[in-house]
C-alpha cells in the first residue's frame, strides 16, 4: 500500500436522485473490506452554509455528526455503511467555500489581488477536498459532487476536479461518472444517448470520466456496454451496471459482482484482494429472512417525504435484522391525528415512535398519540421533539397542568415544562446555533436505558434548542415519569421513562444518527424487541 492518499471523484449525469451517495458508500465499503482506510466527502453546490436551515421538504433529513456539523443525509449512509464517524470536513457547501474566501479577503489575505472564482474559489475547494487526505488517516478519499454535471452551480467543483487530476496524476485521482440508461418502453430499448451527452458535458469542462456507473432498470447487454465504452472513452471493463436493488444494502455486493472496486483499484494502481464482507452478509441474511413481523407507527409531520426520517428508517432496518423481525413502518401524519381518530389510527400498532421536529404544526396530534400509547401500554419511543411531547402529555394529563407546553409552541404558557435552554437565550442567528453534536449522558441504574446500553455513561448526538425544565423535575418524577439520563455537567434531562409502562422511553438526543449495519443502535434494537413482545400479547 502506498502512503499518498488517492482520490476518487463521483459525479452525476442525466438526472439527480441516481444514488451517488449509495454508490460512493458501497465502493468505500468494498475498499474498506480489503483493508483500505477509506472515507467519503460530499460537496454540495448550494449556497446555504449547511443544510441545518433547510426545511426537510427541500433536502430531506439534516444529519448531525459527533463534532456537531449539520450535514447532508448522504453522510448518514457513509456512516451506516462504513461504521466510521464522519465530521465537519466530510460535507462542504458552496456557501461555506464562499464564506471562507470572503473572510480571507476581509482579512487582507489576498494581498490586494482581485478575488475570482478561478483560482480563489477553486483553490478553496481543492483545499477542502485534500483536508481529509492530508490528515494521514485515509488511504482513499471518495468525494461525491452533489448536483448534476452541466448545472451552473457545479462548474467550480468540476474545474477543481480537473485541476486536481492534472496536479495529482491519473493514477492518484480518478472520476466515476454515475449516469442513467433509461428504458424506452415504446422502442423496447435501453438508450445510451443521455449518457453520451453527459459524458460529453463533463469533457467540455476538461474532465474525462474513468469509470461509468450506469443506473438501469434492466440488465445492460454486451452490445450496450461496448457502445457506451466506445462513445464515452472508457475501457469496456469500466462500464459498470447498477441495476435497481431491493435494498440499498445489496449495492456493495452488486458492485463487487460488476467489478467496480477492481477497476477502480487498477486505475489507482492499488492491489485488489477479495473483500471480506462476512459480517455485512450476515446482516443481509438476517434482514432478508425475518422470522416474524411487527408494525410500528412513525408519527411525524414530514411523512410525505420519507427522506425526512432517513436515519430513523434505516435504524429500524438494522434493529429489525438484529431481532430477525420485519419492521413494517406505518407513516402517520400528526397533523391529522386527533382524539376522535386516535384509536383507529393506533390500536393495531405494535409500537409507536414520535418523531423529531420543529414548530407548532402537528404537535397536538403527537400529544394525543402519546396519551393513547401511555394509557394502552403500547411500546413508545420518543425522539427529541417526541420526548418533549411525552413530557407535555404527562404534565397535562397526569399532573393535570392543563396548559403545560413547550415555550417553542407557546411562549406565555403557565407551565413551561419544556423551555428554551439557558445557553440559547442570547442567540439570534439560526444556522449552526442549536445544541449540536455529541454530549455525555449519565444513566440511572435500574432503568430501561441502563439495561439497554449495558453501561452507565453514553455519548449521543443532539440537535435542539429546548429542554426539559428542571423546575418541574421533582413533580414529574413523583408522579411516575423518571429522568433516567442526565448530562453530568449541566444536569439537563436527556432521557425520560415511565415506571408503570412496559416500554416507554423518550430521548432528547438522536440515537438514529449512530445506528450502523455493524452496530445497530441498542435503543432501536430494544424498542423493536419490545414491539415484538407486545405483538405476541395481542
Q: Which residues would be at the binding site for ligand GLN (CB under 6 A)?
A: 356-358, 384-385, 408, 463-466
Nearer to ligand GLN, 31 or 303 (CB): 303
**What is the H or E stretch that residue 140 is in?**
strand 140-145
510 included as an active-site residue: yes
Minimum Å distance from CB 251 to ligand GLN?
29
284 to each of 250, 294, 307, 325, 331, how far by Cα in Å? 8, 18, 22, 12, 24
Nearer to ligand GLN, 352 or 532 (CB): 352
Cell reading at 73: 443525509
Q: Cα–Cα–Cα angle for 397, 398, 403, nearest 5°? A: 45
Catalytic residue among 384, 393, 467, 521: 384
What 3-state DSSP class applies to 461? strand
Rounded CA-CA distance 117/366 in Å is 48
- DSSP of 279-293, one letter per residue? HHHHHHHHHHS-SEE
376 included as an active-site residue: no
What 3-state DSSP class applies to 82? helix
286 and 321 Cβ atoms separated by less than 8 Å: yes
Going by C-alpha positions, the residue among 92, 83, 109, 79 that lies closest to residue 43 is 92
Nearer to ligand GLN, 133 or 356 (CB): 356
Catalytic residue among 177, 464, 501, 510: 510
Q: Cα–Cα–Cα angle for 536, 528, 286, nearest 5°? A: 100
Nearer to ligand GLN, 366 or 473 (CB): 366
Report the residue count for the chain: 538
Minimum Å distance from CB 385 to ligand GLN?
4
Minimum Å distance from CB 163 to ligand GLN?
39
Minimum Å distance from CB 409 to ligand GLN?
9
340 included as an active-site residue: no
Catalytic residue among 144, 314, 494, 512: 512
Minimum Å distance from CB 466 to ligand GLN?
3
- Taking each helix axis from N to C terminus, what angle separates 20-32 and 251-258, rounded to the nearest 10 degrees? 70
Nearer to ligand GLN, 168 or 421 (CB): 421
Rounded CA-CA distance 149/45 in Å is 11
Minimum Å distance from CB 225 to ligand GLN?
46
Nearer to ligand GLN, 129 or 384 (CB): 384
Nearer to ligand GLN, 21 or 356 (CB): 356
250 to each of 27, 215, 257, 266, 528, how far by Cα in Å? 12, 14, 11, 23, 23
Minimum Å distance from CB 97 to ligand GLN?
27
161 and 170 Cβ atoms separated by less than 8 Å: no
Minimum Å distance from CB 86 to ligand GLN?
19
70 to each of 84, 92, 292, how far by Cα in Å? 17, 11, 36
Nearer to ligand GLN, 60 or 356 (CB): 356
- DSSP of 339-370, one letter per residue? TTTHHHHHTT-SEEEEPP--SSTTHHHHHHHH
Tell me which residues are annotated as active site. 384, 510, 512
Amino acid at each position: 500500500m502506498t502512503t499518498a492518499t488517492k482520490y476518487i471523484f463521483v459525479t452525476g449525469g442525466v438526472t439527480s436522485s441516481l444514488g451517488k451517495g449509495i454508490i460512493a458508500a458501497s465502493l468505500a465499503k468494498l475498499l474498506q473490506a480489503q483493508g483500505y482506510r477509506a472515507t467519503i466527502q460530499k460537496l454540495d453546490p448550494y449556497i446555504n452554509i449547511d443544510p441545518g436551515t433547510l426545511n426537510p421538504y427541500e433536502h430531506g433529513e439534516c444529519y448531525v455528526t459527533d463534532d456537531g456539523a449539520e450535514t447532508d443525509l448522504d453522510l448518514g449512509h457513509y456512516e451506516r455503511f462504513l461504521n466510521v464517524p464522519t465530521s465537519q470536513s466530510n460535507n462542504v457547501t458552496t456557501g461555506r467555500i464562499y464564506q471562507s474566501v470572503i473572510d480571507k479577503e476581509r482579512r487582507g489575505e489576498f494581498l490586494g489581488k482581485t478575488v475570482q472564482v478561478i483560482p480563489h474559489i477553486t483553490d478553496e475547494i481543492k483545499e477542502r477536498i485534500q483536508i481529509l487526505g492530508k490528515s494521514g488517516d485515509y488511504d482513499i478519499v471518495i468525494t461525491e459532487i452533489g448536483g448534476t454535471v452541466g448545472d451552473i452551480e457545479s462548474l467550480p467543483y468540476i474545474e477543481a476536479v480537473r485541476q486536481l487530476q492534472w496536479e495529482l496524476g491519473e493514477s492518484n485521482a480518478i472520476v466515476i461518472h454515475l449516469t442513467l440508461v433509461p428504458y424506452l418502453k415504446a422502442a423496447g430499448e435501453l438508450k445510451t444517448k443521455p449518457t453520451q451527452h453527459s459524458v460529453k458535458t463533463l469533457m467540455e469542462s476538461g474532465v474525462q470520466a474513468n469509470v461509468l456507473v450506469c443506473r438501469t432498470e434492466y440488465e445492460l447487454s454486451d452490445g450496450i456496454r461496448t457502445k457506451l465504452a466506445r462513445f464515452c472513452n472508457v475501457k469496456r471493463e469500466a462500464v459498470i451496471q447498477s441495476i435497481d436493488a431491493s435494498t440499498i444494502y445489496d449495492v456493495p455486493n452488486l458492485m463487487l459482482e460488476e467489478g467496480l472496486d477492481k477497476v477502480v483499484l487498477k486505475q489507482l494502481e492499488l492491489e485488489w484482494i477479495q473483500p471480506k464482507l462476512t459480517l455485512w452478509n450476515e446482516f443481509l441474511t438476517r434482514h432478508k429472512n425475518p422470522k416474524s413481523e411487527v408494525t410500528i407507527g412513525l408519527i411525524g409531520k414530514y411523512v410525505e417525504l420519507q427522506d425526512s426520517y432517513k436515519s430513523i428508517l434505516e435504524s429500524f432496518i438494522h434493529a429489525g435484522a438484529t431481532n430477525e423481525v420485519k419492521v413494517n413502518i406505518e407513516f402517520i401524519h400528526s397533523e391529522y391525528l386527533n382524539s376522535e381518530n386516535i384509536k383507529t389510527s393506533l390500536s393495531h400498532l405494535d409500537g409507536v415512535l414520535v418523531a423529531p421536529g420543529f414548530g407548532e404544526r402537528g404537535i397536538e396530534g403527537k400529544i394525543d398519540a402519546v396519551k393513547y400509547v401511555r394509557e394502552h401500554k403500547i411500546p413508545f419511543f420518543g425522539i427529541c421533539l417526541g420526548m418533549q411531547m411525552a413530557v407535555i402529555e404527562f404534565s397535562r394529563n397526569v399532573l393535570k397542568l392543563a396548559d403545560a407546553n413547550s415555550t417553542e409552541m407557546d411562549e406565555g404558557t403557565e407551565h413551561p415544562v419544556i423551555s428554551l435552554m439557558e445557553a440559547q437565550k442570547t442567540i439570534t442567528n439560526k444556522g449552526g446555533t442549536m445544541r449540536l453534536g455529541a454530549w455525555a449522558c449519565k444513566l440511572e441504574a435500574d432503568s430501561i436505558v441502563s439495561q439497554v446500553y449495558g453501561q452507565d455513561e453514553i455519548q449521543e448526538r443532539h440537535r435542539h434548542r429546548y429542554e426539559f425544565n428542571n423546575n418541574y423535575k421533582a413533580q414529574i418524577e413523583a408522579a411516575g415519569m423518571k429522568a433516567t439520563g442526565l448530562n453530568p455537567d449541566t444536569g439537563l434531562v436527556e432521557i425520560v421513562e415511565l415506571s408503570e409502562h412496559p416500554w416507554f422511553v423518550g430521548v432528547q438526543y438522536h440515537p438514529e444518527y449512530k445506528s450502523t449495519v455493524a452496530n445497530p443502535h441498542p435503543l432501536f434494537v430494544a424498542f423493536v424487541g419490545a414491539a415484538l413482545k407486545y405483538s405476541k400479547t395481542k
